[in-house]
Amino acid sequence: MSTHSPSEAGSGAPAKAHTHKEIMIILGGLMTGLLLAALDQTIVSTALKTIVIDLHGLKEYTWVVTAYLLTSTASTPLYGKISDLYGRRVTFQFAIVTFLIGSFLAGASQNMNQLIATRALQGLGAGGLMALTFVIIGDIVPPRERGRYQGYFGAVWGLSSVAGPLLGGFFSDHHTILGLTGWRWIFYINLPFGILALVITSAVLHIPKIKREHSIDYIGALLLVSAVTTILLSIAVYGPEYGWLDSRTITYLVVGLALAGGFLYWEGKAKEPILPLRLFKNHTFSLTSLLGAVIGAGMFGAIVMLPLYLQIVKGNTATTAGLKLIPLMLGIVSTSIFSGKRITTTGRYKKFPVLGTFIMTVGILLMSTLTRSTPYWQLSIYAIIVGAGLGLSMQTIVIALQNSVDFSDMGVATSSNTFFRSLGSVFGTALFGAVLNNRLTHYMASGFSELATKNPSAMVGVNLSQRGLTDIVASPQKYAAVVHNTALDAYVNSFHIVFYAAAPVTALGFILALSLRELPLRTSHDYAAAREEAAGEAIG
């Protein structure tokens, strides 16, 4: 299999086609970059306790995660547009270098403010890694054959969902490794893999840059970043921390929505918009953007609860909880590769996101049956089901999107889809986390009130403050079994509500997937013609 690239702008000679072997080598570099970005969404969470103790930053600990999510999400759509203007390789390599500098500085941080700032720098690079990976594959492989390769990226997401908590727990559990504090290796481990991705892309990633007359929409970029950052601060930080009716939450939300309105107004009149509004006239673009946001919300909002369930209810360590997520990874990997190969063979793709969102909804509903005594084999089956649904859905909607847009819009359309999925994941995590905290407060109060009525002697010496309730879960040996079980039941009941809340979200994804219009996937010949047409329009 090979594809024809457009002529080098101004050279008149066609670029060398990529062979299957070359594509697999490029794929290795892209997957390495994507894995780094995906890992850093999850690897820090299990090490946060160790980090905040070492750097004396308990009050700022949430910002270690939030700073990364803010910059990676806000920058995602910018990378697609910039790569359309200046070329894929140089933009992707800029993202790698930015991520590596951020990783090195994060590992060397001496206080929480430094760590938060460098995590934001890391996120700035990660936004490019997550967006441009799919754009570049879209450049070098036609849609009809893309499933053959795209399925492997689902495997990367599956691997990161397991390896992140596992590695974070491993490094944080060691006081020192090779003379350095254990948690610092969470960031330093990125360096050799990032350099490898840089070397591979420098050696084999040769995509001709199509020269275009262009102007940079600086005002649009500023409005977009400001709007996204402000809204995310309201939804992901101030709302969960201070309450949804707090003046800070409402103020940031109102300002963010006003900035978003200003962005939409400006993009409608800009000569070279960061996010062309005409793309939303494309049925597939609009639908896959919504579907990506829904899948992101359901995926992170529900799956982030599994490690919590394993650690709190089942008493597993962070490392063990990471290992027990392997069935989830197996579900994602197997169906990602299967669906990708079937799409290449048959040219049909709509059935996979339809089936995937349905299966994912069933799996999430099954998780609402988890109890204190649920055996691991049963949880494994539920995790495989959810993972299988994700694997069938995630990469397929990218193929559908890229097949439906003009080649000249490939970068901005693909990065926008990644952007909406990231938005969905951040909102899902924040909102489902708020549901968990709200219900946990309710069930803790009602559970211990009932226990105090039925067995008052068991409540002697029990502190029902936030610190006391945390101690009951963390140190069960200090308390009567009935006290510990009451706290665990409150968690279990709260998890049930979260899964009940997540199921309608993924069910909405099923309805959206049913509305997807299946278009014939472009072949190598069609794709080469589209590339040549885009090159001709740019040069002309």
Exposure string over 177-195, b if 16+ CB within 10 A, otherwise e: eeeebbbbbbbbbbeebbe
How far apart are the C-alpha atoms of 64 and 17, rounded to whole Å?
A: 43
Find the range with the poorest average confidence among 285-299, 366-380, 511-525.
511-525
Please state the φ and ψ torsions of residue 276, each to the nearest 5 degrees.
-60, 120
How far apart are the C-alpha atoms of 42 and 75, rounded to whole Å?
A: 19
pLDDT band at 5 (very low <50, low <70, confident <90, very high): very low
Q: Is the pLDDT at 359 greater than 90, yes or no?
A: yes
Instruction: Give 401: exposed, middle or buried? Use CB within 10 Å, 0-12, 13-18, 19+.
Output: buried
Residue 377's Cβ-side half-sphere holds a number of Cα atoms within 13 Å equal to: 0
Segment of 9-13, 231-235, 379-383 carrying the highest mean pLDDT:
379-383
pLDDT attached to residue 360: 92
**Residues near 510 by beta carbon (within 8 Å), at least 6 away in sequence:** 354, 357, 358, 361
pLDDT attached to residue 213: 54
493 vs 410, more confident: 493
pLDDT band at 377 (very low <50, low <70, confident <90, very high): very high
Find the range with the poorest average confidence among 204-218, 260-274, 464-478, 521-535.
521-535
pTM of the model: 0.79
CA angle 111–127–55, rounded 5-degree value = 10
Instruction: Note whether 474 and 312 are within 8 A (CB).
Output: no
pLDDT attached to residue 143: 72
pLDDT attached to residue 60: 63
Per-residue pLDDT tens digits for 447-474: 888 888 888 877 777 777 777 777 777 7
Any idea where the domains of the chain sit in the sequence? 20-214+272-539
Per-residue pLDDT tens digits for 313-338: 888 876 777 788 888 888 888 888 88
CA angle 337–340–346, rounded 5-degree value = 135
Q: Which two tokens stand for residue 280?
A: 């939303």
Q: Is the pLDDT at 354 greater than 90, yes or no?
A: yes
152 vs 405, more confident: 405
Instruction: Note whether 235 and 430 are within 8 A (CB).
Output: yes
Reply yes or no on domain 20-214+272-539 having CATH 3.40.50.300: no
pLDDT attached to residue 14: 42
Mean pLDDT of the region 414-429: 81
Across the chain, mean pLDDT equals 80
pLDDT attached to residue 369: 93
Which contacts (CB < 8 Å, 24+ apart) does range 370-373 have? 370/309, 370/313, 370/492, 370/495, 370/496, 371/492, 372/313, 372/485, 372/488, 372/489, 372/492
pLDDT attached to residue 535: 47
How far apart are the C-alpha atoms of 118 and 123, rounded to whole Å?
A: 9
